[in-house]
Structure 1
Amino acid sequence: MKLASVDLNLLVALEALLREGSVTKAGLSMGLSTPAMSHALARLRTQLDDPLLVRAGRGMVLTPRAVALRPRLQALLTEVGGVLSPARTFEPALLERTFRIHATDHVLTVLGTALDARVRREAPGVTLQFMPNSPDDAGMLREGSVDLTVGVYVELPPELRTRKLFTDRFVCVVRKDHPTVGRTLTLEQFLALEHLQVAPRGKPGGYVDTMLAVRNQRRRVARTVPYFLAGLRLVEESDYVLTISERVAKAVAPWLKLKLLPPPLPLEPYTLTLLWHPREDSDPAHRWLRGAFVQAARAAAP
């Protein structure tokens, strides 16, 4: 299809229809009458060979094709808007914007103070809304409901952008006066203890269990919690053992009565990664925030 033969105004109409899920509401958002928007929908149905919106009771719902088109269309219109907008010098001090970020309390404990200081100093009008990681961080980035995510990711869609922030490694943590654990922790002791596990995305199991399974061994996970600090606080008041980030454990060790020990099995270090959608690549405000994360990581987690 030749681009010259396509009415690009239909893209704007399509975005409004997919966003509103209603011909009338889409027309109002564009300043068009309902008949005019109905005509645009008819043209789009012919162009795409898909009904896009179908009746469901008193309302209308998107077809699977329409659902699939929505994130691509949003990214395309954002890019077109950037192309047609005049270039302006970006000044963080003048920025007033809210960023939604998925991250664990692990990340906030390690980077939170350094990141907050940089943002307050450079862009006092910026609001940061932190939320727990989701099992579908990638999907939420695609649909634009979140601006950035930070976490440990193994498999990701190839189009997403990544930037390494810092590495961490595992330690085992018990309370200082634990009745059976002294200065060292053997594998036999490790397996005999009841374990507490931090599962930020709500899925029990993980790397430690995989490494034990390779040795035909398993541990008993008696408690699973979603937050690192909650796990460390619970360990302080129990006989559980917790295998956790060394950076977080060291950060809270001065004010919790904890003992940090090397794990009794080989566990590789892991990387915390900054993740975003490519439609944000050229956005100067988003680029500035990514830089703030990188600089905070260099300062707080060298």
Structure 2
Amino acid sequence: MIPAATALTETDFERFREYFYRRTGIQFAPSKRYFVDKRIDHCVRAAGFETFAGWFGALRLGDRPALLQELINQLTVNETYFLREDYQFDALLNAVLPRVLAARGGPGRMAGPVKILSLPCSTGEEPYSIALRLLAEWPHIDLVDVEIHGGDIDSEVLSRAAHASYGERSLQRVPKLWMSRYFNAVGAGRYQLDSSIRDAVTLHQINICDTAAMRVLHEFDVVFCRNVLIYFDELSSRRAAENLYSAMRPGAYLFLGHSESMSRISPIFKPIRLPEGIVYQRPTGAK
């Protein structure tokens, strides 16, 4: 029988924590030991190793990238559903997009599309929520070219996002009219988003703390980065903020989760108070 990974020594656990932090920017507190140990145990067994030491040695060697990806998939949290924190989508339609259009010349006179990024996008509910709100409610949707992108470090949830099949819990806040118009029943209480909307969202596998990898994302007008910075320490949060800054146009807008505040992380963004809450702007003229 393969020994349980919960038999890790304190030294093993600290070595693992440091390794995972360096690769992802995520640092687990000692209070998360049980959560981490169970998922390491799964990874050790699934990869066919007999000991943590053998598995961890192969992981650090780096010639089997699937080991790291499975570990990331096991240890990242993916709590989401359609129209989560919907007041921010209200702010997007009522205040942010009008400002973006005004700054870029208005409908019909813009050079290039309005670009929106959702990171992390998990199983797709967040970028697809943006697409649905724009399609159903934004008066300029037929006049303005819009690109929506989603990104996540977890390959498994990205695969599920591409398929876009959801159960009732994810869909509980979706209006019935939208369900009949944009979703197709696929059996066993599951519904798949119409391909026309799935195809309108481009998905990327990406680590928000990886500066080199984040360079593929650029010139975004609006970024949603909700409920991920709370998992980072000060250094990782600052690096993530700088990478988001580089991915945005001057004057672009950033939405964080309701419990997150950029003022505690970095001064590079300007807070803007809207009726629906606070949004952060990359200053105009900033390089």
TM class by smaller structure:
under 0.3
Instruction: Please say which structure displays the higher CA radius of gyration.
Output: 1
Higher RCO, 1 vs 2 (CA within 8 Å, ≥6 residues apart): 1
